Amino acid sequence: MRVWLALDEPPIEPRRRPLRVGLLGGSFNPAHEGHLYISEQALKRLGLDQVWWLVSPQNPLKPRAGMAPFAERVAGARALVRDPRIKVRDLEQRFGTVYTIDTLRRLSRLHGIRFVLLIGADNLAQLPRWRRWVEILARVPVAVFARLPYSRVALAGPAAKRFAAARIPAERARDLADRPPPAWVFLPVRPHPASSTAIREGRWPRPNPRRE
């Protein structure tokens, strides 16, 4: 059976195994090399086939002030990406979803794809603030990437404690996409200095988009 979700690409053809896709959500205000680094690490260490950048029209936990227009943020992300396995998606705008759980519910209608939610340690720390966060972990495996200075607090926080039995060791990370949720892994990675905040404040150079 082909899978089609108006993704502006040919349908996903039948495969010997399900497509493994990492979901990296965020404002991408703007997208930068740190997003690319995490995506590349996810592709390599989780054995993913693709990573989808889910550009949020408006993160409910972030202020609207200083947020670039949605179309500008999508265009900037697409201009930065060079790896064809990294796809910039405007699905949350198309779905009309604001919360991660609602996006995951819509994506669950797709067959032949196994999703992994990709988050930083800062988001693991604040996960209990997300709408229906327990259901999120019950729906999709989660890969948590180390991020200074949040990692220690995140791993001692309520989300990590509640789902401690579902954590798998980092050396088994390539199995994550095939595990039934709840399942999560913490991945130590080299810190990347780029951040959207630093770029907006002029403390880090703006991304160099690809040139055709």
For residue 3, give the DSSP letter.
B
pLDDT band per the 50, 70, 90 thresholds, residue 182: very high
Q: Is the pLDDT of residue 202 over 60?
A: no
Q: Phi-psi region for residue 26, left (φ > 0), alpha (ψ -120 to 50) or beta? A: left
What is the structure's pLDDT at 204? Answer: 43
What is the structure's pLDDT at 2? Answer: 44
Q: How far apart are the first and last CA of the chain?
A: 35
The answer to whether residues 168 and 180 touch, using CB atoms and an 8 Å cutoff, is no
Structural domains in the chain plus CATH codes: 19-190 (3.40.50.620)
- Work out the average pLDDT over 53-75: 87
Q: Is the pLDDT of residue 197 over 70?
A: no
The answer to whether residues 140 and 117 touch, using CB atoms and an 8 Å cutoff, is yes
What is the structure's pLDDT at 195? Answer: 56
Q: 91 vs 70, 76, 84, CA distance in Å? A: 12, 16, 18
Q: Which residue has the higher pLDDT, 139 or 15?
A: 139
pLDDT band per the 50, 70, 90 thresholds, residue 10: very low
Q: What number of other Cβ atoms are within 10 A of residue 87's Cβ?
A: 19
165: which residues sit within 8 A by CB, 6+ positions away?
A: none
- Work out the average pLDDT over 1-10: 48
CA–CA gap between residue 33 and residue 210 (Å, rounded)? 12
What is the structure's pLDDT at 59? Answer: 74
Q: 104-140, pLDDT tens digit by residue?
A: 999 999 989 999 999 999 999 999 999 999 999 999 9
Q: Is the pLDDT of residue 88 over 70?
A: yes
Predicted model pTM: 0.86
